[in-house]
Each structure stands twice: as C-alpha cells, then as structure tokens.
Chain A
C-alpha cells in the first residue's frame, strides 16, 4: 500500500519532468527550425534583361581617388627611357618590345605589346646599376582589367639567378611558382601601378604576369623605372 502511495507521489514529478524535457526538446527543435528558416530567407537573385555590351575604350580613371604625391630622393630621374627590353616571348603577337620603354603611354591600339598566354616577363636593362626608387607599370589601361600574378624582381644578374630581390608580388596562391605574394591585385588605370622599391640597387628589372581578367595574354603599354646613380 505504501509502495503504491510512494509511486502516486512520484507520478506528478515524473510527468512534470517528462513535460519539461519534452517542451525543452520541442523548443530546441523550434529554435533549430527558426535558424534554418532564417537561412532560407537569403535574398534570391533578381531576373533582369540583357546587360549592356561594352566595346568602347575607357580611358577614364576607373576606380578610387587619384594617387597622392610619391616622395623620392632629390636627383631621382627616369632611367628606363629607350633602354633595351628583352622578354620570355621574343616574338610578340602584337607590337614590339621597344614599346615598353618608348615613352608612349596611350591606351589605344598601336601603343602596347602583346605577349603570348601563360606566365611571361619583360626585362629592362638599365645599362648600369642604380638605386631604384620607383617602378611605374602600365599593362593595358583602355579597359577595366586586372593582370594576374604580377611579380616584379630586380637584380644585378641578367639571368636572375643570383642576387634577386622581389619588390612586388601579388601571386597570392603561388600559381606562377615564383613564391607566395602578399601584395594586392589591382585594376589597371591610366595612372599605372606605382611600386615603391625603396632605393634597391640593381641593373635589371624583370616584370612577370600571367594573363588577365579579359584574356590569357600579357600586355605592356609602358614601364618607367626611376632612380638615382650609385655613388
């Protein structure tokens, strides 16, 4: 009899426990469902008609503000003008290698050299060693493009085997095999890409790229190397 009474006493406790556990479980489940529901509320894409077909050259500045002043030591001069240029692709598809240092920076056809697909480089021989303070590169600025794996190296060795210094590298996944770079990708503009080389001493400058966002080719409108004589 006592046992039955004890059981009767325990019954509401059991029911309450089961209820609380059940509700708790239910609430937990509801919470999960709510989370799922939230994710399903991600906005869907909007259906729209044909986008604009852009085929006209865009010589305007594409993004951001104008570049601010860049300070260099007094006496810094343009070293690369009309200096000899060599390349991994000595038979360019369009243009001549001389265009790289001819001082012409127009974005129109006839002012750029087009190198073959894949990883390619151009190399400038400054004639003698200089303290290089800045390198300015225009790949192709008549279109909003980004060139892949832009790597700039300088050296005293024309074969870039010894004494090589990397002054710019945005190959962040090392897809070109020249080492992982930490520099950012950038959109080509008529201002060119300015690289601060902090007075590094070298005679040869080599610039790599591996295609761009429009096609697999590599282009150069102009490269300018600024520096001072080594005393």
Chain B
C-alpha cells in the first residue's frame, strides 16, 4: 500500500471516528457518574477548588483537562456549562488515541494499522464511552500512548520516547489509580516476551533496552505529572499520599463488589453475544475473533510479512493478562472493558491482514474483503444503534444504571413550575432521597439557587409551604401524610426500576395549568 492511499484512508477513518463521537453529544441524559464528575468539575471551574478524593471519583486529570475546553466553549460560569461541552473532552481523546497507531508503523503493516483504526473508530463500546463524561477514554488514550512509546523505547532507546512514555504513564495514574492493573499487565507481558521471544525478532533485548540510565527520564516525567496533578497544582499536598492510600480502598471494593459483582464471563459475554429479553442482539465478536486470529498470526513469525511478531506477542500477552485480571475481579462495570479491549482492537487489525494474506487469487481476496467490510458495516450499524437509538435503554448492554429519558420530563416540569413561581430559579426545592437516587439532579438543577438535599423525610423540618419537593419511592410513602392534600404528585423514571416523585404545591400547579391553557 502506498503512503498516499494510506493517508487518505486514515483521514477518512478519523472523520468517521469524529462523526460517531461528536454528533448529538447532548442526546443522552447525564448518567449518575457523569453528573458527579460534572458537579465536581463545576467547583474547580467556578471556585478553583479541587481536592483528590481517595474514596471515589478517581484521579484529577479529567477535571483539569476539561478546564481549557470549558473556558473556551462555555466560560467560567458553571450554569452555562452543557453536557455537550463536558462530553466533548472524552470524545476528543477517543479520536486522539487512534493517532497513536501511527507511531507503530515500524511494527505493524499499514493495512493492520488501517483496520485497527477502523475498528476503534466504529466499535460500539469505544464510541459509547467516548461520549461519556468519565475517565475511561482518557485512560484509553494515555494507555495507547504509553503502549506505543514504550514499544519505541524497546526498539530505539530514544530519550524522547522515554519522556513520552513517562508522561503517558503519569497521566494514566492521574486518570485512574486502578491503572496499576494496566502497568502490571504490561510488566507481565514484557517478562513473557523475554521468555518466549528470545532473539529472532527486534527488539532483541527488551529488558536490557528498558533498564538504562534513560529510564530515569520516564520515571521523572511520570513523577512530575503525579506531583502536579495529585497535589492539585501544589494546593492540596495530602492528595499525593492519598493517591497511594486509595489502593487499599479500591482493592477492598474490587473484592467485595456488592452491587457491581458479576461472573467472570461478564465481559466476554458482553463482547461476543449480548441479547436482552425482547431487545436486539449485540455482538463485537468480529473484533474478538479477528484478535484471536491476529494473535495466532503473531506466533507464526512469518519472515515475509512486515508485522513484528514480538510486538503482536507483546500486545497479546498484555491483552490476555489484563483480560484475566479484569474478568477475575468481581467488581465489573461495562467501561472497565476498555483497557484490555484496546489490545484486542490492535490485534484484530493484524488478524484481518493475516486473513487477507491467506488468499492469493484476486477474486477470492476481493470476496473475503467484501465479507469483512460487510461485518464491519454491521459493527458501525450497532454503534449507531447503541449511541443514537438505544442510548439510555437497558436493552443496550453498555447502558449501566443509566438515567432514564423520562427523567428529562421531570427536569422540564421543575423548570415549568419555576417559570410561574414569583422567585423563578430562586424557588425553594427540597430533595429527599438516598444519595444513589439523588443524581443527576444536582447537575440538572445547577441553575437553581435554593436546593436542599436530605436523605430522610424526618430530617427536612418544615414541609408545608415548600413549593416543590422531590422524593424517592421510599420517602414518598413517609411524605404523603405530611403533604396534607396540598400538593399534586407525579412519578418520573430516574433509572430502570427506580422512580422519583415530584410534589408541586397546588397553587403553583394551578398557575401552571392556567398559563399553559
């Protein structure tokens, strides 16, 4: 393949990736976790405050890297911030990680790079979580950057790759403390590579190449990122120690997963075949099977083919180890699939190249290519379905405890009532729910000045006269006698099986009906 054709095709793939990631970013209601992150970011945006929380919400990079985008796109005011602005950040990182594949042009054929890039650009999982304001796509970006630059250290020993790998490693840790699983997988992979791929293919001495004085460049760059970000730019030095204390907390959570405990096959099943009741069937089996073929290809070490079998072996071992670790940890959520799925996506590109290389006759090669493109199109169609049709539907396997679209009707109702209240957005709103049923209300009510959040009805104090009360199903039962027939109550869906009630004072309700008629 000539370089011009490669550049054109790679450009088209980037455009596809941008289309899937940037279209209608505000379509999906904010997830509980997204809203948590958004409100935390709001504190940083408006007050310049951020303190690392070792118990939850992962590292600081997401918040700090969102800042420049928010300043440019929505300004300093939290109430002006939109879902689109926030989700623009992971979307951009989701596209950016494809560019790191270009660093691998000495270890992978151009065809393999193109197919890997294509799979990343259209994979339903990759697109879905690129449009999600959580840390995962940033982690994927830095992991890909680390993988590529780390491999280039082993091959070239250039200082610039040490620094790049160090920065990526630092940002991986500053994004998610749990990135130590990924580092462990890379280390395990390197050891296996040394043991199984001795000296036939470059790099001939990976460990020797790695352990050199230049390795301190890598450590130094990673240290710098850790120091700056976990200390909140030297404003909260405790964050540095807390970043390590978090290991114990996450280790405990991973083992006793509780509500997020799933069997070891959870991820594999999700990737291979994921039907749900009356909903459509989902599958990214094309990627998994192609990755498997690509791995076999790596071990065959055909000297005539341009691919570096050591690199394929390195990615294969990384993917296998990280897949096993993430699958054996009881705590599972769909987004935790991404670190090892990245490896599969690279290997899948190699697998397709291998399959095409098996056929010598042009018509046969064309037929196989056509078949591959049809299945790839099916993947893209699933991506469209997952992100633009079933974006908040529990029948979508990547939808996990997501906010129901009906919740937006509740937000609309609150806004409608505020319009007829004399204080408008200064209207008092009392929210009485368990913290898990509180979110994403704080995000959607960010423009309201007087919103109080309680977990128990008995703690609220005076109920009578409050213009609007929002309560969970459990609290509604306790609340009903206190409403004394003075309120109109409605139900709205928060998530699958989780309902919220809104209680609107009758005078406001009647004013709303009058105004509407």
Q: How far is the CA of A180 from the CA of B498 in the complex (A)?
A: 27
Q: Is the CB of A64 within 8 A of B453?
A: no
Q: Is the CB of B404 within 8 A of A213?
A: yes
The residue from B278, B400, B453, B490 contacting A45, defined by CB atoms under 8 A apart: B453
Q: Is the CB of A48 within 8 A of B498?
A: no
Q: Shortest distance in angstroms between A141's beta carbon and chain B's nearest beta carbon?
A: 12
Say yes or no: is A63 at the interface (Cβ < 8 Å to chain B). yes
Q: Is the CB of A54 within 8 A of B497?
A: yes
Contacts of A94 in B (CB 8 A): 278
Q: How far is the CA of A184 from the CA of B36 in the complex (A)?
A: 33
Stretch of B11-19, B99-107, B307-315, B434-442 with 4 or more beta carbons under 8 angstroms from chain A: B434-442
Closest to A39 in B: B450
Q: Is the CB of B499 within 8 A of A55?
A: no
Q: Shortest distance in angstroms between A180's beta carbon and chain B's nearest beta carbon?
A: 8
Closest to B459 in A: A43
Contacts of B453 in A (CB 8 A): 42-46
Q: Is the CB of A55 within 8 A of B56?
A: no
- Interface secondary structure of B, over-half rule: mixed
Q: Shortest distance in angstroms between B222's beta carbon and chain A's nearest beta carbon?
A: 27
Contacts of A143 in B (CB 8 A): 496-497
The residue from A45, A63, A145 contacting B438, defined by CB atoms under 8 A apart: A45
Closest to B440 in A: A45
Contacts of B259 in A (CB 8 A): 51-53
Q: How far is the CA of A48 from the CA of B32 in the complex (A)?
A: 9
Contacts of A39 in B (CB 8 A): 428, 450
Closest to B277 in A: A109
Q: Is the CB of B498 within 8 A of A63?
A: no
Say yes or no: is A162 at the interface (Cβ < 8 Å to chain B). no
The residue from A45, A47, A53, A62 contacting B53, defined by CB atoms under 8 A apart: A47
Q: How far is the CA of A50 from the CA of B399 in the complex (A)?
A: 12
Closest to B333 in A: A50
Chain A, 171-229, CB within 8 A of any chain B CB = 172-174, 180, 184-185, 187, 212-215
Q: Is the CB of A48 within 8 A of B56?
A: yes
Say yes or no: is B492 at the interface (Cβ < 8 Å to chain A). yes
Q: Is the CB of B496 within 8 A of A55?
A: yes
Q: Is the CB of A58 within 8 A of B442?
A: no
Interface 1/0 per residue, A49-77 and B, CB below 8 Å = 11111110010001110000000000000
Q: Is the CB of B498 within 8 A of A144?
A: yes
Say yes or no: is A126 at the interface (Cβ < 8 Å to chain B). no
Most B CB contacts (10 A, CB to CB) among A109, A114, A173, A180 go to A173
Given contacts A52-B436, A185-B491, contact A144 B497 (CB under 8 A): yes
Q: How far is the CA of A213 from the CA of B431 in the complex (A)?
A: 19
Given contacts A55-B496, A143-B497, A187-B491, contact A45 B401 (CB under 8 A): no
Q: Is the CB of A109 within 8 A of B496?
A: no
Say yes or no: is A81 at the interface (Cβ < 8 Å to chain B). no
Say yes or no: is B489 at the interface (Cβ < 8 Å to chain A). yes
Contacts of A45 in B (CB 8 A): 39, 431, 435, 438-439, 441-442, 453
Say yes or no: is B40 at the interface (Cβ < 8 Å to chain A). yes
Q: Is the CB of A48 within 8 A of B435?
A: yes
Say yes or no: is B292 at the interface (Cβ < 8 Å to chain A). no
Interface 1/0 per residue, A135-163 and B, CB below 8 Å = 00000000111100000000000000000
Q: Is the CB of B499 within 8 A of A144?
A: yes
The residue from B393, B451, B477 contacting A42, defined by CB atoms under 8 A apart: B451
Say yes or no: is B454 at the interface (Cβ < 8 Å to chain A). yes
Q: How far is the CA of A184 from the CA of B496 in the complex (A)?
A: 22
Q: How far is the CA of A91 from the CA of B406 in the complex (A)?
A: 25
Q: Is the CB of B499 within 8 A of A172?
A: no
Q: How far is the CA of A38 from the CA of B186 in the complex (A)?
A: 54
Given contacts A54-B401, A187-B473, A214-B404, contact A46 B493 (CB under 8 A): no
Q: How far is the CA of A58 from the CA of B499 in the complex (A)?
A: 14
Q: How far is the CA of A45 from the CA of B452 in the complex (A)?
A: 8
Q: Is the CB of A172 within 8 A of B490?
A: yes
Q: Is the CB of B473 within 8 A of A63?
A: yes
Q: Is the CB of A52 within 8 A of B401?
A: yes
Contacts of B406 in A (CB 8 A): 212-215
Q: Is the CB of B56 within 8 A of A47?
A: yes
Contacts of B497 in A (CB 8 A): 54, 58, 143-144
Chain B, 474-517, CB within 8 A of any chain A CB = 477, 488-493, 495-499, 512-513, 516
Q: Is the CB of B278 within 8 A of A109?
A: yes
The residue from A63, A64, A172, A214 contacting B488, defined by CB atoms under 8 A apart: A172
Interface 1/0 per residue, B410-434 and A, CB below 8 Å = 0000000000000000001001000
Q: Shortest distance in angstroms between B410's beta carbon and chain A's nearest beta carbon?
A: 9
Contacts of A114 in B (CB 8 A): 278
Chain B, 448-474, CB within 8 A of any chain A CB = 450-455, 473
Q: Is the CB of A54 within 8 A of B498?
A: yes
Contacts of B188 in A (CB 8 A): none
Contacts of A48 in B (CB 8 A): 36, 56, 435-436, 438-439
Q: Is the CB of A47 within 8 A of B491?
A: no
Q: Shortest distance in angstroms between B41's beta carbon and chain A's nearest beta carbon?
A: 12
Q: Is the CB of A215 within 8 A of B393?
A: yes
Say yes or no: is B276 at the interface (Cβ < 8 Å to chain A). yes
Closest to B474 in A: A63
Contacts of A213 in B (CB 8 A): 404, 406, 491-493, 499
Contacts of A62 in B (CB 8 A): 473
Given contacts A42-B452, A43-B453, A46-B438, contact A214 B491 (CB under 8 A): no
Interface 1/0 per residue, A84-101 and B, CB below 8 Å = 000000000010000000
Contacts of B404 in A (CB 8 A): 213-214
Q: How far is the CA of A181 from the CA of B473 in the complex (A)?
A: 22
B interface residues, Cβ below 8 angstroms from A: 32-33, 36, 39-40, 53, 56-57, 259-260, 276-278, 333, 393-394, 400-401, 404-406, 428, 431, 435-439, 441-442, 450-455, 473, 477, 488-493, 495-499, 512-513, 516
6 contacts between A and B (CB under 8 A): A39-B428, A42-B452, A46-B453, A50-B33, A185-B491, A213-B404
A interface residues, Cβ below 8 angstroms from B: 39, 42-55, 58, 62-64, 94, 109, 114, 143-146, 172-174, 180, 184-185, 187, 212-215
Additional 10 contacts, C-beta under 8 A, given A42-B451, A214-B404: A43-B452, A48-B439, A50-B401, A51-B32, A51-B498, A52-B260, A143-B497, A185-B489, A212-B406, A215-B406
